Amino acid sequence: MEAIMEEIEPLFTTDIMQVQLSDRFCMPQITPFLGTNNPLEHLKSFKVWMELHNASTAVMYQAISLTLTGAARKWFKQLKSHSISSFSQLGQVFVMNFIGVKERLKPASHLLNVVQKEGELLKDYIKRFNLKVMQVQKHSEEIALISIMGGLRDPKFLFSLDKNPPTMMIDLLNRLQKYYNVEEASTL
C-alpha cells in the first residue's frame, strides 16, 4: 500500500494525502482504463463502485490511479505535483485529456446495414446484431425489429416470418430461439 501512496503522493494536495486508506479497502472491480475507451464511462463506473463501498472522497482521489493502465497511467504520473484539489477537477482534467477517444454513437439507420452473412448461423447473426445495437444512439423497438428482419438471409426462417410476421421484438426473439435450437441440433 505504501508503494501506491508514494506513486500518487506528489499529485494530490496535502489534505487529500493525509487521509489513510483503511485495511479493509477494496480495490475497484472495474475494467481498467487504457486510454482508448470512453473516459466518461470509466469515471461513472469508478464513482458508482466507490460510492457503493462508502469510500470517502479523499479515498476516491487516491484509488483512481489503481484503475488506470498503459497510456492512461503514464498520463496520470505526469500530472503536475500537488495540482489536484478536488475529484471534480481530476475528472475534468481526465476527460479533457482523453475525450478524443470517446465512442461516437451511430444513428439508428446503421442497424439496416447489419446483414446475415452467407453461411452465418442465426445465433451468430443475432449476437453480431446485438453488438451493433449497443453502438447506436436512440432507437425504437420497431426500428430494431425491421432492421433485424431485413438483415436475415435464411430462406426457411424468412418463409416462416412471411407467413406470420412478428409485431414485437420479443416475438421475433422467441421464434429465433426455437429456430436456432433446431439449427444447432442439426449441426451436431
Q: Looking at the DSSP assignment, which residues form a beta bridge with residue 33?
A: 68
**Average pLDDT of the chain to the nearest whole number:** 80
Q: Which domains does the chain have, with CATH numbers?
A: 2-101 (no CATH), 108-187 (1.10.1200)
**Rounded mean pLDDT of 122-135?**
86
- Residue 180, CA distances (Å) to 144, 175, 188 in order: 19, 9, 12
Q: Which own/partner contact pairs does 19-26 have at CB distance under 8 Å and 24+ positions apart?
A: 19/56, 19/58, 19/59, 19/62, 21/59, 21/62, 21/63, 22/59, 25/55, 25/59, 25/63, 26/53
Asked if 92 contacts 57 with a C-beta cutoff of 8 angstroms, the reply is: no
> How far, in Å, CA of 27 to CA of 46, rounded?
10
**Grid coordinates of 161:** 416470418
* Lowest mean pLDDT segment, chosen from 78-87, 97-106, 115-124, 165-174: 97-106
- The residue with greater pLDDT, 138 or 48, is 48
Contacts of 118 (CB under 8 A, 6+ apart): 153
Backbone φ/ψ region at 103: left (φ over 0), alpha (ψ -120 to 50), beta: beta
**Rounded mean pLDDT of 121-132?**
87
What is the tally of helices (H) and strands (E) in the chain? 10, 0
Read off the DSSP letter of residue 79.
S
Using pLDDT thresholds of 50, 70 and 90, give the confidence band for residue 11: low
Q: What percent of the chain has pLDDT over 70?
A: 84
Using pLDDT thresholds of 50, 70 and 90, give the confidence band for residue 112: very high
- Residue 144, CA distances (Å) to 151, 152, 163 in order: 11, 12, 20
pTM above 0.85, yes or no: no
Residue 35's pLDDT is 81
Asked if 35 contacts 75 with a C-beta cutoff of 8 angstroms, the reply is: yes
Residue 115's pLDDT is 95
Residue 153 has pLDDT above 60, yes or no: yes
Residue 6's pLDDT is 47
